[in-house]
Copies of this chain bind each other. A is one copy, B any other.
Amino acid sequence: MTEAAFKNWQAVQDEVRRRIHARIWAPGEMIPNEQDLAEEFGCARATVNRALRNLSDAGLLERRRKAGTRVALHPVRKATLNIPMIRKEIEDRGQSYGYERLMYRDGVPPEELSRRMKARAGDRFVRVTSVQTADGAPFVFEDRWINLSTVPAAAAEGFETVSANEWLLTNAPYTEGDIGFFASNASDEVAGVLGCEPGAAIFVIDRVTWDNDRSITGVRQYFRPGYRMETSI
């Protein structure tokens, strides 16, 4: 601690973490400015900046120009979830992947989804439901609406062998998405597909993706009972 020993931003970050954790810098308290820290650590200001910016992104510090940097009083923990393609998730577990299309039909989404997808008059949609399996057992039931007005090419694809998810990723990349997670009791339909009792607690991911201001697709994925999504913070 006596000599300059923090020559890279990760070492600086670790040292700042240590001081926060050891209450040398208490929650809510100001810490020295970048210039002073750079001198203390014997490195360039940019290096300190990189470290502090990272900690700020992680929610441990709060930074404001002129006001300076303080230790967050109530660190809002941020969990980063990876949303992989189902196929990749299953194959990464070393299981065999299967896909089956269940239904394909033109139509109009239910009112609530129409609103969420900001459907315009004249927009055309197709609904595709499917099941994806791991080692032959149902893994996820997917109920999806595709906006053909945004993705006309989808009208020529029946999604009989290729999942809509993968086809869209390749053919209709999105710029933004809204995603929600919740729990739902299995309906008879969901229970039938997933092979569980009606009423079983099902983990659901609900997503709408956008190509700028045009909705591409709205989808609900019902995972098999016991599914657990994990990460670290």
Binding site for B on A (CB under 8 A): 17, 20-21, 27, 74-85, 88, 169-170, 173, 175-185, 199-204, 206, 211, 225-233
Contacts and interface: CB of A to CB of B under 8 A. Distances in A.
A200 B184 CA distance: 8
A214 to B, nearest CB: 13
A173 B170 CA distance: 43
A222 to B, nearest CB: 10
Given A183-B203, A202-B183, A21 B80 contact: no
A202 B230 CA distance: 17
Contacts of A202: 183, 201
Q: Among A78, A181, A183, A204, which residue has the most Cβ atoms of chain B within 10 A?
A: A183
Contacts of A27: 170
B233 A176 contact: yes
Contacts of A74: 84-85, 88, 169
Q: Among A79, A226, A231, A232, which residue has the most Cβ atoms of chain B within 10 A?
A: A79
B181 A203 contact: yes
A98 to B, nearest CB: 18
11 contacts: A17-B175, A77-B83, A77-B84, A79-B80, A180-B228, A180-B229, A181-B228, A182-B227, A182-B229, A183-B183, A183-B225
A16 to B, nearest CB: 13
A180 to B, nearest CB: 4
Contacts of A228: 180-182, 206
